[in-house]
Structure 1
Amino acid sequence: MAPLVIQGAADGNLANLYGPSGVRGIFQNRFLFSLGVAASFGGLLFGYDQGVISGVLVMNSFARTFPRLAHDANLQGWMVAVLQLGACFGAIVNGPIADRFSRKYSIAAANVVFILGGVLQTTVKNITMMFVGRFFAGIAIGQLSMSVPLYLGEIAPPNVRGSLVTLQQWGISIGIMTSFWINYGTQYIGGSGNHQKELAWRLPIGLQMVPSVFLLLISTLFLPFSPRWLFLVGREEEAVKSLARIRRLPQDHIFIQQEIYEIKLAQRFDAKTVVERYPNAKTKWKQEFELYNELITVAHLRKRLFVSCLMQLIQQFTGINAIIYYAPTIFGFIGLSGNSIHLLATGVVGIINVLSTSIAFVGLDLIGRRTILLVGAVGMGISQLIVATLYAVHEHSWSSHRSAGWAAAVFIWIFIANFAYSIGCVNWVYPSEIFPPSVRSKAIGIAVATNWICNFIIGLVTPRMLTSIRFGTFYFFFAFCVILFVWVFFFLPETKGVPMEEMDIIWGGNQAAEDLERMARVMAELQNEEGNESLDPLARAKQASEHVEMADFRKLPRDI
């Protein structure tokens, strides 16, 4: 049986009517862009906390205060990894929070937890306090890494959804770059030698609370509720107002009417499906359990969840965070020594990361997810292969082959560039757009938790890999770049420009006869509410006038 086609949407008119894709489309609605920038401060916190620790670990004053942390590789690995454990927990528990209290308030709550973790880390007196502070910061980062792409995906129209969610990765890149350069500057407080002051490492850790306070205020006072969440909890009038505000259009505009129609249709279908499939689930908690269970037992949802989680795993095992967390160590292994290690391994990596993310911001909705991933996989794979080979050949002779060390550094930078515009962005966009509304937050929570579990593993084992299998570490990462290319080329569907309510067409949902019958009943209910008319606004617009072509709707004003 053919996949169900939602009335009024499957012909792509809604996506086309919203105008150009990518950056041009975003800048036509500057308010939407400002919302994306504000929410992406969650990514900035994520990136800053990831990047700041690598510089702190090599500071003299930190080594004097916590000699065990500075010189015990296993303890260092756990100090880095405890943040990922917290993030995994935060991502999992945040799904029900985001559904119950809204996407915007889950972002605000995460910042309260983050500030608590930041205070503990900044005022730390012992190793236990440092671990607890990083765990709390990790919980908040896990919440934000789930809430921000979920929120951005739900407020974005299909023509710019990829570019808008990419702002999350841009925030991460800017956070990493900022932390690297702040570390580089503060290491000279009191001098970079034995007279270095504790402020040199306490200051960069404490500064991460500044953007968190900003995001707490912005999320509470400025960010509108997600219209899709408002429909999910039955606040339909508010949903219409929120969508009109985000799109900067009147509530009776054809775009608003059509998008509301499609959201309402999808939401009611999902709600009725839950009630009819699970009649014994009388309580909210029982329904929540059944929805989580659906992600495993329903074939098309299981496929989407598997794809989302596999993408998170591959992203981490290409080696990105091994470089982010242990960049000074890696650059030291390839023969670059002195202050240049900190500058080259951190500051330049951060700049390249930010600039390369811009490619995805510009091209993700123009080129598509698959093409971006394929090109990035090739670039990352070649880079890891060359670094591994140079390392294998010159492992014991870097000092007499300085040019080989610089060549390895250049290809590490090329790897960073290819990662940033490809899977570094797509892994946040893809899960945020492919799930139906009833399980979207739960599925994204599981996918992001998978990312953090893999991140935890990488943070924990990389020091051991670098000291035990040495150049084999980079061959290991190269293998996952090859896996990424093969998987995307043969198995991953393209989602560019597809409205969120039409993803079932790609993934094969709503195929059973009972689903078709249920959708017909939902559509009939909506039609009855409108006086037995067709509720599809685009269909009504086509019937109402023989003189206005659909292309003319693009000329309607976009701002109010």
Structure 2
Amino acid sequence: MGKFSRVEDRPTPPEVYNWRVYFAAMVATFAAVMIGYDSAFIGTSISLASFKKEFSLTNKTTTEFNLISANIVSLYQAGCFFGAIFGYPVGYYLGRKWGLLASGTVFCVGAILQCVASASTGLGIIYAGRIIVGLAIGAASNLAPIYVAEISPPAIRGRLIGLYELCWQIGGVVGFWINYGANQNVKPGHSQWLIAFAVQLIPGGLLFIGAFFLVESPRWLVSRDRNAEALKNLCYLRHLPEDAPYLVDEFHAIEATIAHERGLAGAGFWGPLKTVFASRLLIKRLLIGASLFAWQNGTGINAVNYYSPTVFKSIGLTGTSTSLLTTGVFGIIKLIGSLIWLLWLVDSLGRRYLLMIGSIGGALSMYYIGAYIAIAKPADHPMATLDAGGRSAVAFFYIWTIFYSPSWNGTPWVVGAEFFPQHVRTFTQACMAASNWLFGFLIARFTPQMFTAMGYGVYMFFASLMVLSIFYVYFILPETKQVPLERMEELFAPGLKPWRAHTVVMGRIHDANAARKIEEGSHDSLEKVSNDHKEHV
């Protein structure tokens, strides 16, 4: 398959795949640049000697510094958790467009607070800024994938939601390299560490501006009884007139589905919550979707993202510049892997196979790194340069990154955005995003202590979790690629095995399309015969 090939659920006019839907998806997913940048820069920023000196951290013991760094990182994660929950009422009452704009605004406020911190203010204002930034990012992590899922044609839905992950990695690359550049080219002092904090304002400001150019989700508008505006926006996004058969079918499907689901859920803010918790099938989907983020964090990704200097020190790398350089290469590999995932893999290979392959390669790599540390004990035998064993451990760390980035990095977000029907999607996406930040908080809060207490056992722990995730994905998670959002519930029909569900549902869709073609062909033939008869008479 070519990199831009598509497998369609039904014949689709080429106009549907136009720049408008790509532009809207890119603006919305730009929220992830804020997330990626923040997750990447903070761990390396607090490792800079200039930051430690500014806030009197150089005389702290290892235990004290671990506690402070864990607080700086994890307060952001805690803010993200609550922000993801607050994203539900924001998405319900304001919609996707204005919710994203509000997220950009709040993010900039939090970033400014961090920028005005200094030795005279202490770390308190940084803590406050980290919480506020987290609130904005949590809400954006809720709203952006929902918006993209709701505006996307099924054949490229995974690709467009995948832009979220690509933007995350772009922000990560900048975040990983910004401190390396500052460390190499800026004189140690207040300005050196401040640069990375100030750069946060760029993605936050761009999201704020870009949100003004978005059109609201047609599905959300229909759910608010604004059908005329919804049809107008759908025409714009699909680049088709109102009477185009494809658009008529899609809009009728949206109206019918939302009307049916509203009858099940009831109107109002609390209807979706009641519907989810009253349905065993929806609770099952909610638990599966949320658990994917537990398994994602079980790969060790947030331990690496936030504490990369600690990770590389455990392998035997010493020196701030060397650690920052190695971390920057890690960010580039993640970006390339995410790009491959976006263009080739997510909509062709699918979700299940990607996750299982990522776990297999990641587990083997982590086991190797843990075994090397257990045998060589690099922390007890520091060297100016790595020996062959140390270089092989670094190589396997990069191999782990190669397996992780096109699999677990973005796929859980795609699945979480696809899993649920429209009438509960804002609430369930809030749960998905909140679960991501909850598990991320646990890892971020306790990673320094884990490395101190467990040593090489940290790598064995994450490797073993990846092995377990293979069986979990195979036996629990159904494939969702190319399944229309309106038919997603069929994947969870009672008695249908998860590893067979996709084949069964796609077979039904193809059969329905074939029957419709036959019916349309018969109608056209009868009409032609009638017209020929009239002409003959």
Q: Is the 8 A contact 1:119 1:206 kept in 2?
A: yes
Alignment partner of 1:47 out of 36, 41, 46? 36
Shift of 1:328: 1.2
- Specify the alignment match of 2:421 in structure 1: 436
- Specify the alignment match of 2:140 in structure 1: 144
1: CA distance between counterparts of 2:151 and 2:186? 48
Q: Could you say if the C-alpha distance between residues 538 and 87 of structure 1 is closer, same or farther in structure 2, counting changes exceeding 3 Å?
A: farther
Shift of 1:288: 2.9
| 1:322 aligned onto 2:303 | yes
Which secondary structure does the structure 2 equivalent of 1:327 belong to?
helix
TM-score (norm 2): 0.87
Q: Is the 8 A contact 1:373 1:423 kept in 2?
A: yes
- Specify the alignment match of 1:279 in structure 2: none
| 1:165 aligned onto 2:164 | no
Alignment partner of 1:238 out of 229, 236, 239? 229
Alignment partner of 2:260 out of 262, 265, 269? 269
- Specify the alignment match of 2:361 in structure 1: 379
**Offset from partner CA, 1:278-314 (integer Å, 9 cap, x none):** xxxxxx6xx4334213323311101110101100111
Q: Is the 8 A contact 2:8 2:482 kept in 1?
A: no
2: CA distance between counterparts of 1:345 and 1:70? 26
Q: Could you say if the C-alpha distance between residues 539 and 452 of structure 1 is closer, same or farther in structure 2, counting changes exceeding 3 Å?
A: farther
Alignment partner of 2:326 out of 345, 352, 358? 345
Q: Is the 8 A contact 1:62 1:70 kept in 2?
A: no
- Gap regions ≥5 residues in structure 1: 1-12, 276-283, 512-535, 549-560
TM-score (norm 1): 0.84
- Specify the alignment match of 2:244 in structure 1: 253
Which of 377-386 and 331-340 deviates more?
A: 331-340
- Specify the alignment match of 1:119 in structure 2: 112
Q: Is the 8 A contact 1:183 1:201 kept in 2?
A: yes
Shift of 1:31: 2.3
1: CA distance between counterparts of 2:160 and 2:419? 15
| 1:74 aligned onto 2:67 | yes
Q: Is the 8 A contact 2:48 2:320 kept in 1?
A: no
**Offset from partner CA, 1:177-216 (integer Å, 9 cap, x none):** 001111111124543xxxx121111111111111211111
Which of 211-220 and 126-135 deviates more?
A: 211-220
Which of 78-87 and 371-380 deviates more?
A: 371-380
Which secondary structure does the structure 2 equivalent of 1:546 belong to?
helix
1: CA distance between counterparts of 2:155 and 2:358? 22
Which of 293-302 and 112-121 deviates more?
A: 293-302
| 1:207 aligned onto 2:195 | no
Alignment partner of 2:130 out of 128, 134, 140? 134
**Offset from partner CA, 1:107-163 (integer Å, 9 cap, x none):** 000111100000000111321111000000000110111111111111111111111
Q: Is the 8 A contact 2:90 2:99 kept in 1?
A: yes
Q: Is the 8 A contact 2:77 2:438 kept in 1?
A: yes
- Specify the alignment match of 1:302 in structure 2: 283
- Specify the alignment match of 1:455 in structure 2: 440
Trace 1:279-294 onto structure 2 (pairs within 5 A).
287-294=268-275
Q: Is the 8 A contact 1:321 1:455 kept in 2?
A: yes
- RMSD, aligned CA: 2.3
Q: Is the 8 A contact 1:150 1:441 kept in 2?
A: yes
Shift of 1:508: 2.5
Which secondary structure does the structure 2 equivalent of 1:296 belong to?
helix
Shift of 1:427: 0.8
| 1:179 aligned onto 2:172 | no
2:44 corresponds to which letter in structure 1? G
| 1:477 aligned onto 2:462 | yes
Q: Is the 8 A contact 1:398 1:405 kept in 2?
A: no
- Gap regions ≥5 residues in structure 2: 1-6, 497-514, 528-537
Q: Is the 8 A contact 1:369 1:495 kept in 2?
A: yes
Which secondary structure does the structure 2 equivalent of 1:435 belong to?
coil
2:133 corresponds to which letter in structure 1? A
Q: Is the 8 A contact 1:334 1:398 kept in 2?
A: no
Shift of 1:344: 3.6
Q: Could you say if the C-alpha distance between residues 542 and 397 of structure 1 is closer, same or farther in structure 2, counting changes exceeding 3 Å?
A: farther
Q: Is the 8 A contact 2:148 2:160 kept in 1?
A: yes
Shift of 1:540: 8.3
Name the % identity.
30
**Offset from partner CA, 1:497-550 (integer Å, 9 cap, x none):** 0000001211228x9xxxxxxxxxxxxxxxxxxxxxxxx9989855652399xx
Q: Could you say if the C-alpha distance between residues 270 and 298 of structure 1 is closer, same or farther in structure 2, counting changes exceeding 3 Å?
A: same
**Offset from partner CA, 1:55-81 (integer Å, 9 cap, x none):** 211112211111238841111101100
2:391 corresponds to which letter in structure 1? W
Shift of 1:87: 0.2
- Specify the alignment match of 1:394 in structure 2: 376
Which secondary structure does the structure 2 equivalent of 1:440 belong to?
helix
Alignment partner of 1:110 out of 103, 115, 128? 103
1:267 corresponds to which letter in structure 2? I
2:18 corresponds to which letter in structure 1? N
Alignment partner of 1:15 out of 9, 20, 38? 9
Q: Is the 8 A contact 2:355 2:473 kept in 1?
A: yes
Aligned residues: 491
2: CA distance between counterparts of 1:106 and 1:539? 44
- Specify the alignment match of 1:555 in structure 2: none
- Specify the alignment match of 2:524 in structure 1: 545
Which secondary structure does the structure 1 equivalent of 2:242 belong to?
coil
Alignment partner of 1:36 out of 25, 50, 67? 25
